[in-house]
């Protein structure tokens, strides 16, 4: 694949900030101070899994406080949410990262991003022993990064030997019963968790996973339950950048977390993860280059989450059209077509797209309810919908109830099975008479069903239901004299087919012109060796194989009887050999009628194209 210009922009940013050498590496533990302070890497990974990286994006460093956000996610998964909240609050402390900030009476830490809160959080990870807890943390972090992570034992030993303040905090937490059991064991989990080695690319992928509703966009593996995403990102938004958090949300506008190892990860929900690694820190404990790069990236690429895009009708409803402009692929006789031309507006299709959520579902609701005369048949096509959240599901239930109560037919099609949407709908709708119809395999079948209903409602009487249609009733024989009909009749052969019998096959010579005298046939094409698609349905008083009039080619589809059918045919080549006046007149009329019929189809197709192009 070609490299996109965004790489170049990132390279420029990198070069611009390379000379920024303010700040100092963390030295509160000796091992951290040994890091090469010139290192500098930037990585961006989108929710589609596109990776951009420059500089030292593959160097490992210790994750430090960045781990706090991800361990908080594990704690929320492993416990009842209110229990977690009873142990750690979610308010910014307004103080430095190593502040103790406990609630006066309860001893509850202000939030999970300060050390006190993070130690409490680590204790909430599932596991009988410290080893089990840290194994679980490393395992889950590995789902975010798509690779197995290791601990930097030098850092860990250094933290363990010098972490007096954290030791004090954990004993204080034990005193308040925020921690239970041995505080040293939890502290050991916390020190190990902070010593996990990651790269800048790892962090960007961890961010992209949060941006992608908890699913790693490269491996497709879920790292965090969807329902915990707003909780984790919420705490990152209010407390992730120590006492620079207010400025961060104002200037950068992405939930983020930094660590004294020099890393920062920022998340633009639904879009991307951004990570910077540069060990020199400001006096608040944030990477100096990290902050500069994130501010520049947010500004340059308009990534502030509060500078949001609108949910509009045009992105929710791809298009909407009625059953007079787009028809099922069923070939019907002229009188049926007249009825559908006239009353097809009573069928209305809405092609939906994108993510369905509150406002988009509400837009659909409004669009439909805005009809002064509601159509009798309403089809919602979900084929281009990428997700439907709970609120939208509820609204679609409401819509279905509202419309079915008004006596309307509601049809939902094209819901991917993975949504579990059909079941959710049925669960929410306690009264099954309000279920939308959801069993049609595609739009064509749904349209066909609606058309049949319209024809029935408008008292359309088919030419024949029991006795075979006579040749003079076939549109292709329009205006033929009795003699001409008799002549043609003499050239006809006739056969009766049972249900599901093959009449002709793809690849055979197309040398016959067929008439459906009774019954119904379908035209099927092979999509691949396993799948077929129904192209057309041909009803009584219609013909097929007209191409044989225009020269012999190979058939491009299978024709199969849908029910017991009487089919007659003649071979044009034989007819055309006869140059008598009567044959010539028959030929002229066949061609004329074929041209008229094709012309009408072309007009219908052009109408459909105009509807589809809207």
Q: Contacts with a copy of itself in 164-223 (CB under 8 A)?
A: 211-213
Is 549 among the residues that bind a copy of itself (CB under 8 A)?
yes
Is 462 among the residues that bind a copy of itself (CB under 8 A)?
no
E strand segments, 262-376: 263-268, 272-277, 317-322, 330-331, 347-356
Is 527 among the residues that bind a copy of itself (CB under 8 A)?
no
Task: Name, in order, each residue with C-beta under 8 angstroms of 192's C-beta and a sequence gap of 6 or more.
Answer: 134, 137, 151, 156
Binding residue for a copy of itself, selected from 50, 147, 345, 424, defined by CB under 8 A: 50
Is 520 among the residues that bind a copy of itself (CB under 8 A)?
no
From 144-152, 172-180, 457-465, 548-556, give the range in contact with a copy of itself by CB under 8 A: 548-556
Site for a copy of itself in 241-260 (CB under 8 A): 243-247, 249-251, 253, 255
- Would you give the binding string for a copy of itself spanning residues 563-582, x where CB under 8 A is met? ------------------x-
Binding residue for a copy of itself, selected from 67, 93, 199, 542, defined by CB under 8 A: 93
Q: Quick one: 27 or 227, whose CB is closer to a copy of itself?
A: 227
What's the start-to-end Cα distance of the chain, in Å?
A: 33
Q: How far is the CB of 212 from a copy of itself (least distance, A)?
A: 7
Binding residue for a copy of itself, selected from 98, 219, 357, 422, defined by CB under 8 A: 357
Q: Check if 461 is active-site.
A: no
Q: Check if 481 is active-site.
A: no
Binding residue for a copy of itself, selected from 386, 457, 467, 526, defined by CB under 8 A: 386
Q: How far is the CB of 246 from a copy of itself (least distance, A)?
A: 4
Tokens at 297, concatenated? 């990236």
Q: Check if 197 is active-site.
A: no
How many C-beta atoms lie closer than 10 Å to residue 229's C-beta?
Answer: 20
What's phi and psi for 286, nearest 5 deg?
A: -100, 145
> Per-residue DSSP letters for 537-599?
EEETTEEE-GGGGG--EE--SEEEESSSEEEEEE-HHHHHH--SHHHHHHHHHHHHHHHHHHH
Tell me the three state secondary structure of residue 16. Answer: helix
Q: Check if 487 is active-site.
A: no
Q: Quick one: 306 or 461, whose CB is closer to a copy of itself?
A: 306
3-state secondary structure 412-432: EECCCHHHCHHHHHHHHCCCH
Q: How far is the CB of 563 from a copy of itself (least distance, A)?
A: 26
Is 475 among the residues that bind a copy of itself (CB under 8 A)?
no
Q: Check if 242 is active-site.
A: yes
Site for a copy of itself in 97-136 (CB under 8 A): 111
Distance between CA 90 and CA 102 in Å, rounded?
12
Tell me which of 62, 65, 158, 548 is the catalytic residue. 65
Tell me which of 52, 67, 68, 88 is the catalytic residue. 68
Of the candidates 188, 176, 174, which has an alpha carbon nearest to the alpha carbon of residue 125?
A: 188
Q: Quick one: 27 or 600, whose CB is closer to a copy of itself?
A: 600
Q: Quick one: 21 or 299, whose CB is closer to a copy of itself?
A: 299
Site for a copy of itself in 283-342 (CB under 8 A): 300-315, 318
Contacts with a copy of itself by CB under 8 A: the residue count is 113
Task: Name, in order, each residue with C-beta under 8 angstroms of 299's C-beta and a sequence gap of 6 or more.
Answer: none
Binding residue for a copy of itself, selected from 71, 278, 395, 520, defined by CB under 8 A: 395
Exposure b/e, 155-167, CB count within 10 A at least 16 = b: bbebbbeebeebb
Is 481 among the residues that bind a copy of itself (CB under 8 A)?
no
From 5-13, 24-32, 407-415, 488-496, give the range in contact with a copy of itself by CB under 8 A: 5-13
The bridge status of strand 565-570 relative to strand 513-518 is: antiparallel
> Per-residue DSSP letters for 54-102?
EESTT--EE-TTHHHHHHHHHHHHHS-HHHHHHHS-----SS-TT---B
Tell me the three state secondary structure of residue 268. Answer: strand
Sheet holding 542-544, edge to edge: 493-497, 565-570, 513-518, 542-544
Active site residues: 65, 68, 190, 242, 260
């Amino acid at each position: 694949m070609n490299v996109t210009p965004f790489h170049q922009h990132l390279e420029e940013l990198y070069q611009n900030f390379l000379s920024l050498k303010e700040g100092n590496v963390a030295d509160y533990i000796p091992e951290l101070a040994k890091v090469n302070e010139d290192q500098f890497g930037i990585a961006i990974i989108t929710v589609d899994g596109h990776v951009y990286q420059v500089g030292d994006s593959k160097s490992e460093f210790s994750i430090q406080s960045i781990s706090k956000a991800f361990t908080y996610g594990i704690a929320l998964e492993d416990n009842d949410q209110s229990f977690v909240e009873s142990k750690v609050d979610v308010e910014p402390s307004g103080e430095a990262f190593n502040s103790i900030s406990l609630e006066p009476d309860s001893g509850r830490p202000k939030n999970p991003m300060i050390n006190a809160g993070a130690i409490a959080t680590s204790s909430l990870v599932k596991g009988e022993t410290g080893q089990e807890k840290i194994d679980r943390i490393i395992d889950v972090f590995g789902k975010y990064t798509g690779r197995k992570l290791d601990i930097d034992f030098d850092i860990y030993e250094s933290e363990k030997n010098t972490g007096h303040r954290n030791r004090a905090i954990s004993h204080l937490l034990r005193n308040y019963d925020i921690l239970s059991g041995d505080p040293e064991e939890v502290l050991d989990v916390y020190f190990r968790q902070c010593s996990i080695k990651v790269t800048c690319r790892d962090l960007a992928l961890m961010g992209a996973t949060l941006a992608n509703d908890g699913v790693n966009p490269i491996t497709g593996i879920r790292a965090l339950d969807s329902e915990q995403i707003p909780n984790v990102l919420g705490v990152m938004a209010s407390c992730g950048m120590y006492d620079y958090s207010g400025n961060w949300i104002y200037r950068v506008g992405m939930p983020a977390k930094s660590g004294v190892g020099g890393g920062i990860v920022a998340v633009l929900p639904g879009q991307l993860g951004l990570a910077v690694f540069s060990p020199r820190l400001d006096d608040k404990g944030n990477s100096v280059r990290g902050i500069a790069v994130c501010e520049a990236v947010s500004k340059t690429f308009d990534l502030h989450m509060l500078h949001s895009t609108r949910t509009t009708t045009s992105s929710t409803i791809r298009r909407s059209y009625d059953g007079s402009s787009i028809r099922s692929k069923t070939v019907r006789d002229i009188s049926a077509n007249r009825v559908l031309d006239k009353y097809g507006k009573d069928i209305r299709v809405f092609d939906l797209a994108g993510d369905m959520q509150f406002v988009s579902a509400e837009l659909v609701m409004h669009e439909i309810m805005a009809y002064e005369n509601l159509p009798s048949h309403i089809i919602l096509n979900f084929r281009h919908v990428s997700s439907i959240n709970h609120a939208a599901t509820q609204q679609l239930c409401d819509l279905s109830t509202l419309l079915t109560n008004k006596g309307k037919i509601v049809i939902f099609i094209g819901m991917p099975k993975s949504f579990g949407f059909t079941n959710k709908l049925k669960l929410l709708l306690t009264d099954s008479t309000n279920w939308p119809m959801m069993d049609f395999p595609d739009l064509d079948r749904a349209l066909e069903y609606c058309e049949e209903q319209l024809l029935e409602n408008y008292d359309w009487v088919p030419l024949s239901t029991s006795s075979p249609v006579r040749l003079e009733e076939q549109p292709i024989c329009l205006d033929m004299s009795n003699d001409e009909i008799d002549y043609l009749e003499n050239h006809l052969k006739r056969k009766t087919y049972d249900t599901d019998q093959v009449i002709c096959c793809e690849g055979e010579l197309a040398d016959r012109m067929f008439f459906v005298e009774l019954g119904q046939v379908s035209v099927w094409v092979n999509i691949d060796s396993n799948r077929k698609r129904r192209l057309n349905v041909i009803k009584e008083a219609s013909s097929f194989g007209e191409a044989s009039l225009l020269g012999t080619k190979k058939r491009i589809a299978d024709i199969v009887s849908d029910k017991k059918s009487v089919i007659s045919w003649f071979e044009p080549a034989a007819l055309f050999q006869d140059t008598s006046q009567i044959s010539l007149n028959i030929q002229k009329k066949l061609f004329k009628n074929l041209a008229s019929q094709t012309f009408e189809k072309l007009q219908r197709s052009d109408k459909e194209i105009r509807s589809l192009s809207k």
